[in-house]
């Protein structure tokens, strides 16, 4: 089944086509979300939300880009929404703890990616930790290019930006990561 056929059947509300879509793209979406949120359970939950969103808004998909590009965009948006909610929750919890209310802070262990080679385990864990401190756009660019292995062309289409500005983003991301890693290794 071609992509156009699949899209047409999805727009017709065919559930079999939807199952086919999940089978085709679940690993791609799950890996992207996992690299972004760095938590296994949350990544599964968000992957589910991505596909539900796809099902709900397939009628609005114009087909200007590839289906995978559209899926990446939805996945990234979901991750950013999750991150913002999470940050707001953390702020609320720290406010509660200041006022002596039950505002316990969740301690999240360092993320160890299951697909990492043993020799690189410590360094990759460190890099994931440093990534959390980057501004949103730099984090998305670095994660999609370095962790998901996408090309600059693909990422520029997903992020709806030019390759030139994507290169700038990557340069700044590397500089910022270098600074925080240097600080860590010096201490």
Q: Which parts of this chain interact with other proteins (CB under 8 A)?
A: 15, 19, 22-23, 26-27, 29-31, 34, 44, 47-48, 51-52, 55, 113-117, 120, 123-124, 126-127, 130, 146-147, 149, 174, 177-178, 181-182, 185-186
Return d(Cα 169, Cα 50) in angstroms, integer.
Answer: 26
Nearer to other proteins, 20 or 96 (CB): 20
Nearest approach in angstroms of CB 20 to other proteins is 10
Q: 40-57 vs 67-98: helix axis angle to the nearest 10?
A: 130
Nearest to 80 by CA among 26, 158, 165: 158
Return d(Cα 96, Cα 114) in angstroms, integer.
Answer: 35
DSSP 24-49: HHHHHHHHHHHHHH--HHHHHHHHHH
Nearer to other proteins, 130 or 159 (CB): 130
Nearest approach in angstroms of CB 187 to other proteins is 11
Nearer to other proteins, 25 or 97 (CB): 25
Nearest approach in angstroms of CB 64 to other proteins is 25
Evaluate whether 104 touches 93 at the Cβ level (below 8 Å): yes
Nearest approach in angstroms of CB 40 to other proteins is 8
Nearer to other proteins, 99 or 185 (CB): 185
Residue 105, judged by CB atoms within 10 A of its CB (0-12, 13-18, 19+), counts as exposed
């Amino acid at each position: 089944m071609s992509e156009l056929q699949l899209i047409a059947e999805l727009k017709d509300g065919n559930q079999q086509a939807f199952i086919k879509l999940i089978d085709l793209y679940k690993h791609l979406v799950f890996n992207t979300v996992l690299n972004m949120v760095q938590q296994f359970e949350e990544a599964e939950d968000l992957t589910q939300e991505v596909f539900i969103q796809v099902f709900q808004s397939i009628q609005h998909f114009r087909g200007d880009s590839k289906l995978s590009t559209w899926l990446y965009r939805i996945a990234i948006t979901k991750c950013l929404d999750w991150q913002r909610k999470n940050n707001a929750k953390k702020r609320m919890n720290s406010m509660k703890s200041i006022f002596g209310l039950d505002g316990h802070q969740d301690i999240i262990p360092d993320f160890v990616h299951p697909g990492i080679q043993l020799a690189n385990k410590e360094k990759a864990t460190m890099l994931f930790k440093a990534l959390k401190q980057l501004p949103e756009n730099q984090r998305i660019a670095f994660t999609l290019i370095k962790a998901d292995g996408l090309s600059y062309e693909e990422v520029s289409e997903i992020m709806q930006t030019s390759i030139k500005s994507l290169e700038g983003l990557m340069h700044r991301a590397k500089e910022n990561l270098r600074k925080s890693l240097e600080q860590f290794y010096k201490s």
